[in-house]
A and B are shown apart, each in its own frame.
Chain A
């Protein structure tokens, strides 16, 4: 019977085109407003690495001076070189990496391509496997290159194509920081959304931008490459001058990631960090009470407020608007179904049960939902296009995927069925005898 009811629903759309158009439009506008804002929220708050986001952890340690301490203070989002080096050497977790931003000039040696500035990061080789970075040519630098602090480099695809075209540059050398860097690999286009591995100091923010090159963490330090990003020197700052003094200081400028074997490693690693801080206290560091945090990817993004309050508020408002649209649709459906009390009477007289009338009219409401959903989809694309005009970041997140497409249609159908419940129930209460005589 569902096909029969669906067919009747389609015919009914043509019965009163003005009323139908009003219902469909009301529903479509409500659905479009909700889905356009929800899509932005969905992309912003999406899990960028769902199969392992619960076992990638960011440690945070509170190494600030005692002065100004208040209970509940949040530890810094970055850490010192001393701590980064110690944690790298700790062997904790399956993999670990320290990351800091580096910028430099590249001399291609080509007369047609003058030296230019590039922005990259300095991680350990674990970085590539931890974050599942895809390679176009070659691969990460070797463990021996990392240990020997050799000048090796992995290029981003865009930089590689700029320097070498589409051919593989693996094994070739480029000139940077006054040294020759051997190319170990070229990564393919890699744009996780949000850009979780580089939420602090990333060029382009939480959703846009990409790193142009990758060099080993300790090699970058050997070259005394500065940090292109925040550098938080609480207290007195470096006690010794120069780069080496900075490395020995309590200045926070390095981001750190652990990869656990399972999600349950979070508690164990946190215990390790507390023990580590206790040990460091013995060396005269960490004057504050032990305050360590270890957040997985989603917790880390929540801590940094990747999803703006504006995006959340807009979504709530849009769903409020959808509710208003639904109330209107209820009214319109009531008008439509009330006008067909005679037909209900006829169908009841011809043998339809109340349940069959209920199914027929609810299916008819769902048909309005399907049409409203399709129009709502078109309007959603329009809404997302308007949102994308606001900024490059918005352009990145205002994109609908298949899940959102399906959700838009489903939302419209569910909304129309909800809106159809009262009118359908009313239609079922029709007294057939009365209707048949008055027709």
Chain B
């Protein structure tokens, strides 16, 4: 689904060069739920932005669902982003003067679906996150947890292959966070690959696999939670 090889990202100013990522290698398979952890400033968000085609990288290769994105122009990247990716942000990033229906509608508009198809997808996505009854509500009328659910519905509506979540529960209390996490797990079970950046070890532990980033490099690629659990079970 996602493969990066020897990827680097350098931020340059006229004074200094900052290597946000260097020699970065990662492979995420179809259907995985991967948690990306690491200390602040380690390069997690840079990785997520590059994975989400929101930033260009300086060197290396990145193949997303079989498409090499190196050197793609803005139009092609936007199209790929729209068709294959879904985003969930820490701050929800809903558009305040659009109701839930219209918020979920945004990525579908850019896809060029007709009105009937858009409505079907919006109803379906809001149904999946349990907000069908609040379709005409505005974001400000919802709790944080509900807003994040709308953001998830928006991410799901286009039928993405890969869901990128940046601290999806960072702005939520523990109860709401649990609800959102359960929803993500459910989505993953239905076949969507999820890549989640988090500071929260508890959330990370619920992913199938953890990727730890330190100083712009993957420090431990192979620690798979499920495999570990299987090993422990076998020993016992």
Complex contact B82–A346 (CB within 8 A)? no
Complex contact B54–A433 (CB within 8 A)? yes
Residues of A contacting B54 in the complex (Cβ-Cβ under 8 angstroms): 348-349, 432-433, 436
Asked if A15 CB lies within 8 Å of chain B CBs, one says yes
Asked if A94 CB lies within 8 Å of chain B CBs, one says no
Complex contact B106–A350 (CB within 8 A)? yes
Complex contact A355–B93 (CB within 8 A)? no
Known: A350-B106, A356-B110. A436 touches B78 (CB 8 A): no
Complex contact A439–B97 (CB within 8 A)? no
Residues of A contacting B49 in the complex (Cβ-Cβ under 8 angstroms): 433
Residues of B contacting A353 in the complex (Cβ-Cβ under 8 angstroms): 74-75, 78-79, 110
Complex contact A346–B75 (CB within 8 A)? no
Residues of A contacting B52 in the complex (Cβ-Cβ under 8 angstroms): 349, 433
Complex contact A349–B109 (CB within 8 A)? no
| Docked CA distance A349–B155 (Å) | 10
Complex contact A352–B110 (CB within 8 A)? yes
Residues of A contacting B97 in the complex (Cβ-Cβ under 8 angstroms): 11-12, 14-15
Complex contact A349–B87 (CB within 8 A)? yes
B92 and chain A: residue at smallest CB distance = A439
Q: Could you tell me the dominant secondary structure of chain A's interface residues? A: helix
| Docked CA distance A12–B98 (Å) | 10
Taking the closest CB of chain A, its distance from the CB of B15, in whole angstroms, is 19
Residues of B contacting A431 in the complex (Cβ-Cβ under 8 angstroms): 55
Interface residue total, chain A, C-beta cutoff 8 A? 26
Count A/B pairs, Cβ under 8 Å: 69
| Of A346, A352, A354, the contact of B93 (CB 8 Å cutoff) | A346
Provide the B54-88 mask, 1 if CB < 8 A to any CB of A, else 0: 11000000000000000000110011011100010
Complex contact B55–A352 (CB within 8 A)? no
Residues of A contacting B212 in the complex (Cβ-Cβ under 8 angstroms): none
| Docked CA distance A278–B100 (Å) | 89
Asked if A156 CB lies within 8 Å of chain B CBs, one says no
Interface residue total, chain B, C-beta cutoff 8 A? 28
Complex contact B79–A351 (CB within 8 A)? yes
Asked if B91 CB lies within 8 Å of chain A CBs, one says yes
Residues of A contacting B82 in the complex (Cβ-Cβ under 8 angstroms): 350-351
A356 and chain B: residue at smallest CB distance = B110
Complex contact B95–A343 (CB within 8 A)? yes
Complex contact A351–B95 (CB within 8 A)? no
Chain B residues 137-178 with CB under 8 Å of chain A are 154, 158, 166
Provide the A146-190 mask, 1 if CB < 8 A to any CB of B, else 0: 000000000000000000000000000000000000000000000
Residues of B contacting A15 in the complex (Cβ-Cβ under 8 angstroms): 97
Residues of A contacting B42 in the complex (Cβ-Cβ under 8 angstroms): none
Asked if A4 CB lies within 8 Å of chain B CBs, one says yes
Asked if A52 CB lies within 8 Å of chain B CBs, one says no
Asked if B45 CB lies within 8 Å of chain A CBs, one says yes
Provide the A419-439 mask, 1 if CB < 8 A to any CB of B, else 0: 000000000000111001101
Residues of B contacting A12 in the complex (Cβ-Cβ under 8 angstroms): 97
| Docked CA distance A198–B57 (Å) | 78
